[in-house]
Structure 1
Amino acid sequence: MDSITILYSPLSQRFLSILLWTPKSGCTTYNKWVFLKIGLFEKVLQDTEGDVHRYRDFVYRKEPDYTQGLTKNLLEAKKDIHKLVRNPYKRAVSSFLHTICSEWLICKFDSDINKGLSFKKFLNHLKSLGPNINTIERHIAPQYIDGEEQFITKYIQLENFNNHITEIEKTYGLLKTPHSQISKSFHHFSERMVQKGEYAEAILTVEIFAGRLPTYESFYNKETKELVKVIFAKDFEIYGYDKDNIIR
């Protein structure tokens, strides 16, 4: 239970279910949706200029009854627990792109944002960590946390987000939210990922963000695909993703 309360930053108070997530798995859209549903989105805009992550961590989670209420709900098991998950192939690329533009992350790979990093080296370093990979920064660690399936009622695949959210809104009698209202974020790379080529071993620096980004498929050759299968094996297994399909 400690792993859920510490690592997930659950969104639960004032809502009918407990909602879990990990970074680089659509969490910005997910958090926006939650704050919209519980009537706090205007506060997010007002207090943190629309930064849902800052609002969640420094306002919402600081409420006096947050930790106590969350622990009570987990112990009593009266609320459904949902977790948002993402295709490990796409998340690995997203984590890599996040790393090469983040000085505080790329230094863990013996580099900096000017020297850059290749996707293959990024993955080989993660593989070399073995079980310790679960202790690293959550933006690059696996989504799965040991034993989580004992608590979680339903997994929401990001690739089918709209349908899952519509189902949740119907289940709890919530008003339908237009996806366009919550899907835009400066965190998102997907719209600019249009450059095709062979980027599995290419050293990329922060400068790449000034133009078009490589497509997800461009980062994969036989070796990088196998590395992702090994590193994120539990994500594939528990969340039901096809190891042969990079996109879905």
Structure 2
Amino acid sequence: MGFPGTWMTQSESVVYRVVPKCACSTIGQIMYYSDHGAFFDGDIHDAKGGMHKWALEDSQPMITSNVKAHQSYAFTCVRNPYTRILSSFFDKICGIQRNGKRYRGNLVPLLIQKYGIDVGGPDGKQDFDQIKSFRRFLLFARDTIRWRRPMDPDIHWSAMSGHVSTFIVNGGTYDKIVWTEKFNDGMEDVMKAIETPHAVNIADIPRFNESEGHGPKRAHPVEDYFDDLSMHLVREIYKRDFDLFKYDFDNPGNKMPIAEIDLDEVHKKLGD
């Protein structure tokens, strides 16, 4: 299986396991800048050079040998499950993507038909009941994760622990797990721990939010989207994420972590 979703700088200064919807565009650009002294011109996900990625066949042997021997500092980044699933909904379901089309072609028509979801019209710009629509999407996300129907779960809303675990199961070890909510602090820890060809001042790095502007703006506070049933569904899907990455399940309005991540616990529980 190898190391899907793993990126590494060409200088092999650092290894990163991508978790979708968790600042991955910004992290990729920081890694690129640390090697080249300039940002990649475009969405870092589209870069076919300047960085090793598991998706590029030529990079796979180098990533494999580095990770298995733990030659470089390795990290990943996680986010509050409540805000992550909301972000996925507005970006991937309601939004028009970079190519000018809906995400995954027939996915949105399927959701409109089978789950009664509204996405704000053809361009996503009309008013619609965001809370009602999101809760129906949550049912769909649960169905994909629990029963793999009407389709397999998408990487943008499958549990973070699943992404994080493949790296461990196949022989990798994390030195750090960064919280998106404490991004600068976490990334400064990463930068202090490694040596890069070009110095990076995290405070000066712009945010590369490639999904921004794809979909409608969130009209309500996070907690308004989650009633008792929605929280039950979220627990069913993301219980392990809350437990391992120390987020507050009981209060959807609190996006901040409530305890320190125990790396030993993460490796033990996700390494089976």
TM-score of the pair, normalised by structure 1: 0.75
CA change 1:121–1:180 in 2 (3 A) is farther
CA distance in 2, matches of 1:135, 1:5: 20
Contact preservation (8 Å) 1:12, 1:70: no
Task: Please tell me whether residue 231 in structure 1 is matched to residue 247 in structure 2.
Answer: no
CA change 1:228–1:181 in 2 (3 A) is same
Report Cα offsets for 1:122-152 as digits up to 9, x if no partner.
1111222316389422112221224545534
CA distance in 1, matches of 2:143, 2:180: 28
Match for residue 137 of structure 2? 122
1:192-207 superposed matches below 5 A: none
Match for residue 144 of structure 1? 161
CA change 1:186–1:73 in 2 (3 A) is closer
Report the Cα offset of residue 227 of structure 1: 1.6
CA change 1:166–1:135 in 2 (3 A) is same
Task: Please tell me whether residue 188 in structure 1 is matched to residue 212 in structure 2.
Answer: yes
CA distance in 2, matches of 1:12, 1:135: 31
Instruction: Tell me the matched-pair count.
Output: 222
Which residue identity lines up with residue 181 of structure 1 in the other structure?
Answer: I
Match for residue 5 of structure 1? 3
CA distance in 2, matches of 1:131, 1:38: 43
Contact preservation (8 Å) 1:135, 1:141: no
Report the Cα offset of residue 106 of structure 1: 2.4
1:17-166 superposed matches below 5 A: 17-39=14-36, 41-42=38-39, 44-45=40-41, 50-55=42-47, 61=53, 65-98=58-91, 99-102=93-96, 103=102, 104=104, 105-107=107-109, 109-111=111-113, 113=119, 114=121, 118-129=133-144, 130=146, 132=148, 135-145=152-162, 146=165, 148-149=167-168, 151-153=172-174, 154-166=176-188
CA change 1:36–1:213 in 2 (3 A) is farther
CA distance in 1, matches of 2:110, 2:10: 35
CA distance in 2, matches of 1:186, 1:86: 16
CA change 1:179–1:229 in 2 (3 A) is farther
Contact preservation (8 Å) 1:23, 1:139: yes
CA distance in 1, matches of 2:68, 2:80: 30
Contact preservation (8 Å) 2:23, 2:209: no
Q: Secondary structure at the match of 1:83?
A: strand
Across the aligned residues of Structure 1 and Structure 2, the Cα RMSD in angstroms comes to 3.2
Match for residue 200 of structure 1? none
Contact preservation (8 Å) 2:48, 2:56: no
Report Cα offsets for 1:77-100 as digits up to 9, x if no partner.
222321111110110100111222
CA distance in 2, matches of 1:97, 1:110: 15
CA change 1:121–1:56 in 2 (3 A) is farther
Which residue identity lines up with residue 15 of structure 1 in the other structure?
Answer: E
Contact preservation (8 Å) 1:25, 1:84: yes
CA distance in 2, matches of 1:74, 1:245: 37
Match for residue 177 of structure 1? 201
Structure 2 unaligned runs (5+)?
97-101, 123-127, 257-272
CA distance in 2, matches of 1:126, 1:81: 30
CA distance in 1, matches of 2:110, 2:168: 30
CA change 1:64–1:5 in 2 (3 A) is closer
Match of 2:249 among 234, 240, 243: 243
Which residue identity lines up with residue 171 of structure 1 in the other structure?
Answer: A
Contact preservation (8 Å) 2:52, 2:63: no
CA distance in 1, matches of 2:152, 2:38: 32
Report the Cα offset of residue 109 of structure 1: 2.5
